[in-house]
Amino acid sequence: MTTYHAIVWIDRREAHVLMFDREHVESQRIKSRSHHVATGGHAGSHGMKHGRGPSASGHHSGSGGHDNADETFYHSVAQALVGVHEVLVTGPAEAKSEFRTHCQRHDKAVDKAIVDVVTCDHPSDPQLVAMARKYFQKYDQRAADPSQR
């Protein structure tokens, strides 16, 4: 489905990618393969106990804390957005900003499509689409997209 707009709700466990036009919505859920959701906190506090530490999972920093970004996960989300012209990124915590940073470094075409990053809790997919439609109204008025006319 080729669409002009998308909204992404993202946290460190999963992303909801919703691409839409006036009549259709296509949704995709992308799960992180990382088993660690929290960041920081553990810096050296549990060393190699309980199978944790830098060599146990690949998702720990050298100091024993968790890595902030799951780059493979963020890249999968970016790949789902290839070809979308305008993207609104939402989510409850830091993952939305980490995703934006990932795109700035590695997925520049998607970064150019990101129009804003906003905080929101855990809305349903229909609520996300409604929020995005309202948000993009101001952009639709200026867009030169013939399918939106």
Q: What is the pLDDT of residue 143?
A: 59
Q: Looking at the structure, tell me whether residues 55 and 74 fall in a common domain.
A: no
112 and 58 in a common domain: no
Query: Predicted confidence band at 144 (pLDDT cuts at 50, 70, 90)?
Result: low
CATH number at residue 87: 3.30.420.60
Judge if 57 and 130 occupy the same domain: no
pTM comes to: 0.72
Share of the chain above pLDDT 90, in %: 59
E strand or H helix at 74: helix 71-80
In this prediction, residue 66 has a pLDDT band, given cuts at 50, 70 and 90, of very low
Question: Are 63 and 133 in the same domain?
Answer: no
Is the domain of 94 the same as that of 124?
yes
> Taking a C-beta distance cutoff of 8 angstroms, is the pair 64, 46 a contact?
yes
Q: Are 119 and 97 in contact (CB under 8 A)?
A: no
Q: Report the pLDDT value the prediction gives residue 116, as an integer from 0 to 100.
A: 94
CB atoms under 10 Å from CB of 75, counted, come to 16
> How many angstroms separate the CA atoms of 90 and 84, rounded?
16
Residue 78 burial by Cβ neighbours in a 10 Å radius (0-12, 13-18, 19+): buried
What's the domain range around 136? 5-33+70-148
Q: Are residues 111 and 43 in the same domain?
A: no
pLDDT tens string 8-53: 999 999 999 999 988 899 999 999 987 554 444 444 444 433 443 4
**How many structural domains comprise the chain?**
2
